A and B are shown apart, each in its own frame.
Chain A
C-alpha cells in the first residue's frame, strides 16, 4: 500500500506555455501533499505544502503565481508551472502523508521531468 503516482512522468514544452503535473495517492487518503524540486545531483527542495481544500503554503523564494497548486481532494494535488521558462526545467517530485498514520512519513511519487525549450 501507500502508492503515489505522478503524471506525466516526462514533459517537454515550449517557453511561455503552462504545464500541469498531477500527483495522486492511489490506495490511501492523504492529509497533506508536498511538492519538491530537485536539480541534478542535488537534494530535494521543498516548494510548497498543500492540504485538501485550503491554500498551499509556499516556502520562501517560491513564487505562488508561478507555481500554482490545487489540492482538490484527499487523493489529488496538481502543480501548474505557468509561463514556463528554461530555468524551470527540473525534476518535480510530490509526496503525501497518510491520513491514518500518526507520524509524518512521506510517500513519494516517481517524479516528473520537465524540460522547457
Chain B
C-alpha cells in the first residue's frame, strides 16, 4: 500500500551543526506533508508543513524541501541545539490510512 518512510532511524550531530532528516513517500498523488517532532513521553508537535505546489518552505531554523520527481522530502534544521533532540516523523495527514506516519528518525544533538 501507500506509505511514507524515513531513511535513517538515527542521526547524531554536533551542537551548532545543521541537521538533515530525509523521508520518502510512495503515493504520487500525495499533496500535503507535515513534519512532527516528538519528545520522549509526549505527543507529537507540529513543526512545519508543505503542500505539493511548493518545492521549499522555511520556518524558524527549519526548512522543508519537497522533490516530487523522486517523491522525497527533507527537513533541515539550522544550528541544531540540544533542545532539538527528539524523534522526527514525516506524515501524510489523510484520514483512514492504515499508516499515516513513517518510522521516526531519532535526532541526538551532542554538546
Decide yes or no whether B100 CB sits under 8 A from chain A.
yes
Scan residues 16-47 of chain A and give those whose CB is less than 8 A from a CB of chain B.
32, 41-46
B42: chain A residues at CB < 8 Å are 110-111
Contacts of A104 in B (CB 8 A): 32, 93-95
A43-B98 CB under 8 A given contacts A105-B46, A110-B43: no
Interface residue range, chain A: 20 to 34
| A63 at interface by CB-CB < 8 Å | no
In Å, the complex CA distance between A53 and B106 comes to 38
Interface size band for B: 20 to 34
The verdict on A67 contacting chain B, using a C-beta distance below 8 Å, is no
Q: How near does chain B come to A72, taking the closest CB pair, in angstroms?
A: 20
Task: Please report whether the interface of chain B is mostly helix, strand, loop or mixed according to DSSP.
Answer: loop
Whether A109 contacts B98 by the Cβ 8 Å rule is no
A64 proximal to B (CB < 8 A): no
The answer to whether the Cβ of A54 comes within 8 Å of any Cβ in the partner chain is: no
Within 8 A of A (CB), among B21-70: 32, 34, 36, 41-46, 49, 51
Interface flags, A79-117, vs B, CB<8A=1, else 0: 000000000000101010100000111111111010000
> Within the complex, which residue of B93, B94, B98 is in contact with A60, where a contact is CB–CB below 8 Å?
B98
Residues of A within 8 A of B49 (CB): 103, 105
A59, B98: Cβ atoms closer than 8 Å = yes
Decide if A43 touches B89 in the complex (CB within 8 Å): yes
A97 → chain B, closest Cβ, in Å? Answer: 8
> Of B43, B96, B104, which one neighbours A49 at CB under 8 angstroms?
B96
Expressed in whole angstroms, the Cα–Cα distance for A111 and B46 within the complex equals 15
**Chain A residues with a Cβ under 8 A of chain B:** 4, 6, 32, 41-46, 49, 57, 59-60, 91, 93, 95, 97, 103-111, 113
